[in-house]
């Protein structure tokens, strides 16, 4: 695949033609990107962009980062062009994906300075909102990881989250926020049990099972909202979890407000992602779970109960999705609206694949989606000449670019989506 460098100089150079072709394409893409940035955002733009570093509710202002737009954008364009030329010249490079990622990130900063030219943007607010918006996607992605690592495809995450959001709102109104959160988790786990029952025991096609779950939950929650909740307002007024400032850590500049002054959902997401990583890759149970997802027959032969492992992990995934679903109501507005998850469960599935079925990968992917989602909202406020509808497409276009350009052929667990029959 790449140059052999055993003794000093490269001996025989084996280059994968597909890799070379891909690198050339990426190189050209980078050059085009550089040209677009330089001509579109750099040349002829005057003024400075001010990025405010002070947290929204802080007493002491930290000050602003003042960036002169045109020079900054031109420097960025030059860097990207340099990377492109380098890729074209050394087309056997293994770092093409990394370079593409860096180039995209730089391009986004260039775009952001151009959009902020002559105005001021709260950088801290942007980063803080990014983390908040990453939360539901991270939960959804983690739920997907837990299910797919044992070989059960979970298209029903959207439904599980919606059920969590609904339960969180209703139970939260009746017995308070913590009770609502517990109820949402239990209901999510219950739907996970249903998915496991349908796929593991009844050997239903996983995608059909997921579609059924989504339809069922959408139907039940929408019906209950229009038939019951509209006339009983008291059932749909849940308390919202307030942000908790973590002592000392929340005072760290930039990182403090970004990660350590949120409500419990953000901390829960971080804890769950870390403990899921530990569980899947550093415990005996996790190893068994992954074995079931890769090669259930072998796992069965070694005495692992395939059915029980799948049941437990799918239910865990459901509980995570239900907990994450409660974020929509208990973590943000306190009120359930029909179809309020608006496809976040599906974006979570995208985050799972982008994160290569790894909880920490999911975290990174969720932050990228959260950033794109936040960015489009801030840009609407900045009144750029780009129509709002096109800005609203940004997170989705970014997802496509990321999945197509950076991830490529990610490998799913081998037994993903396959039912297991004991022989």
Q: According to the binding rule CB under 8 A, does residue 34 interact with other proteins?
A: no
Nearest distance from residue 196's CB to other proteins, in Å? 13
Contacting range for other proteins; rule: CB under 8 A; set: 67-75, 200-208, 283-291, 319-327: 200-208
Nearest distance from residue 33's CB to other proteins, in Å? 17
Q: Kindly tell me which of 16 and 205 has the beta carbon lying closer to other proteins.
A: 205
Nearest distance from residue 313's CB to other proteins, in Å? 21
From the CA atom positions of the chain, what is the Rg in Å?
24
Contacting range for other proteins; rule: CB under 8 A; set: 6-14, 29-37, 114-122, 218-226: 218-226
Q: According to the binding rule CB under 8 A, does residue 186 interact with other proteins?
A: no
Q: According to the binding rule CB under 8 A, does residue 36 interact with other proteins?
A: no
Q: According to the binding rule CB under 8 A, does residue 222 interact with other proteins?
A: yes
Q: Kindly tell me which of 91 and 122 has the beta carbon lying closer to other proteins.
A: 91
Q: Please list, in sequence order, all residues whose beta carbon lies within 8 angstroms of the beta carbon of residue 191, skipping any fewer than 6 positions away.
A: 156, 159, 160, 163, 213, 217, 318, 321, 322
Q: Kindly tell me which of 188 and 345 has the beta carbon lying closer to other proteins.
A: 345
Q: According to the binding rule CB under 8 A, does residue 362 interact with other proteins?
A: no
- Position among 207, 244, 333, 380 found at the interface with other proteins (CB under 8 A): 207
- Position among 79, 102, 186, 216 found at the interface with other proteins (CB under 8 A): 216
Nearest distance from residue 333's CB to other proteins, in Å? 21
In angstroms, rounded to a whole number, what is the distance separating the alpha carbons of residues 229 and 226?
6
Q: According to the binding rule CB under 8 A, does residue 364 interact with other proteins?
A: no
Q: According to the binding rule CB under 8 A, does residue 234 interact with other proteins?
A: no
Q: According to the binding rule CB under 8 A, does residue 134 interact with other proteins?
A: no
Q: According to the binding rule CB under 8 A, does residue 1 interact with other proteins?
A: no
Distances (CA, A) of 418 to 50, 66, 148, 203: 53, 55, 10, 9
Q: According to the binding rule CB under 8 A, does residue 19 interact with other proteins?
A: no
Site string for other proteins, 381-410 (x = CB under 8 A): ------x-xx-xx-xxx-xx--xxx-xxxx
- Position among 54, 122, 214, 236 found at the interface with other proteins (CB under 8 A): 214
Contacting range for other proteins; rule: CB under 8 A; set: 42-50, 71-79, 199-207, 256-264: 199-207
Nearest distance from residue 96's CB to other proteins, in Å? 12
Q: According to the binding rule CB under 8 A, does residue 16 interact with other proteins?
A: no
β-bridge mates for residue 280, sequence order: none
- Number of Cβ within a 10 Å radius of residue 20: 13
Q: Are 162 and 217 in contact (CB under 8 A)?
A: yes
Q: Kindly tell me which of 36 and 211 has the beta carbon lying closer to other proteins.
A: 211
Q: Kindly tell me which of 108 and 244 has the beta carbon lying closer to other proteins.
A: 108
Task: With CB under 8 A as the rule, give the number of residues binding other proteins.
Answer: 46
Nearest distance from residue 202's CB to other proteins, in Å? 5
Q: According to the binding rule CB under 8 A, does residue 275 interact with other proteins?
A: no
Listed residue (22, 386, 346, 325) closest to 160, CA to CA = 325
Nearest distance from residue 222's CB to other proteins, in Å? 4
Q: According to the binding rule CB under 8 A, does residue 185 interact with other proteins?
A: no
Q: Kindly tell me which of 249 and 393 has the beta carbon lying closer to other proteins.
A: 393
Listed residue (145, 152, 49) closest to 359, CA to CA = 145
Site of interaction with other proteins (CB under 8 A): 198, 202, 204-205, 207-209, 211-212, 214-216, 218-220, 222-228, 338, 343, 346-347, 349-350, 353, 387, 389-390, 392-393, 395-397, 399-400, 403-405, 407-410
């Amino acid at each position: 695949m790449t140059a052999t460098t055993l003794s000093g100089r490269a001996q025989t150079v084996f280059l994968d033609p597909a890799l070379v072709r891909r690198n050339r394409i990426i190189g050209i893409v980078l050059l085009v990107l550089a040209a677009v940035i330089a001509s579109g955002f750099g040349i002829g733009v005057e003024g400075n962009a001010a990025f405010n570093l002070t947290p929204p509710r802080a007493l002491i202002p930290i000050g602003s980062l003042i960036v002169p737009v045109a020079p900054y954008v031109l420097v960025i364009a030059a860097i990207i062009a340099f990377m492109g030329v380098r890729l074209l010249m050394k087309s056997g490079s293994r770092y093409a994906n990394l370079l593409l990622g860096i180039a995209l990130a730089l391009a986004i900063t260039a775009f952001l300075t151009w959009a902020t030219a002559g105005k001021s943007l709260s950088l801290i607010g942007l980063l803080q909102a990014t983390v908040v918006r990453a939360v539901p996607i991270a939960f959804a992605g983690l739920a997907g990881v837990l299910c797919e690592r044992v070989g059960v495809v979970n298209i029903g995450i959207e439904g599980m989250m919606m059920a969590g959001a609904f339960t969180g709102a209703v139970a939260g109104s009746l017995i308070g926020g913590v009770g609502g959160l517990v109820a949402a988790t239990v209901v999510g786990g219950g739907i996970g049990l249903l998915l496991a029952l349908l796929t593991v025991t009844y050997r239903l096609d996983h995608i059909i099972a997921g579609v059924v779950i989504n339809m069922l939950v959408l139907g039940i929650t929408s019906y209950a909202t229009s038939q019951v909740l509209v006339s009983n307002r008291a059932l749909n007024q849940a308390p919202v979890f307030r942000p908790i400032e973590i002592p000392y850590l929340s005072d760290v500049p930039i990182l403090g407000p970004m990660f350590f002054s949120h409500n419990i959902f953000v901390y829960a997401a971080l804890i769950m992602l870390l403990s899921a990583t530990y569980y899947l890759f550093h415990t005996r149970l996790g190893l068994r779970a992954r074995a079931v997802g890769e090669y259930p027959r072998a796992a069965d032969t070694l005495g692992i109960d395939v059915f029980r492992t799948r049941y437990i992990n799918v239910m865990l995934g459901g509980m995570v999705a239900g907990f994450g679903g409660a974020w929509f109501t208990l973590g943000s507005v306190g009120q359930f609206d029909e179809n309020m998850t608006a496809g976040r469960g599906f974006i979570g599935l995208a985050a799972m694949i982008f994160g290569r079925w790894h909880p920490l990968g999911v975290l990174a992917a969720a932050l990228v989606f959260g950033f794109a989602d936040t960015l489009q909202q801030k840009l609407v406020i900045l009144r750029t000449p780009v129509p709002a509808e096109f800005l609203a497409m940004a997170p989705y276009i970014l997802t496509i670019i990321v999945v197509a350009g950076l991830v490529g052929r990610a490998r799913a667990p081998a037994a993903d989506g396959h039912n297991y029959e004991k022989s």
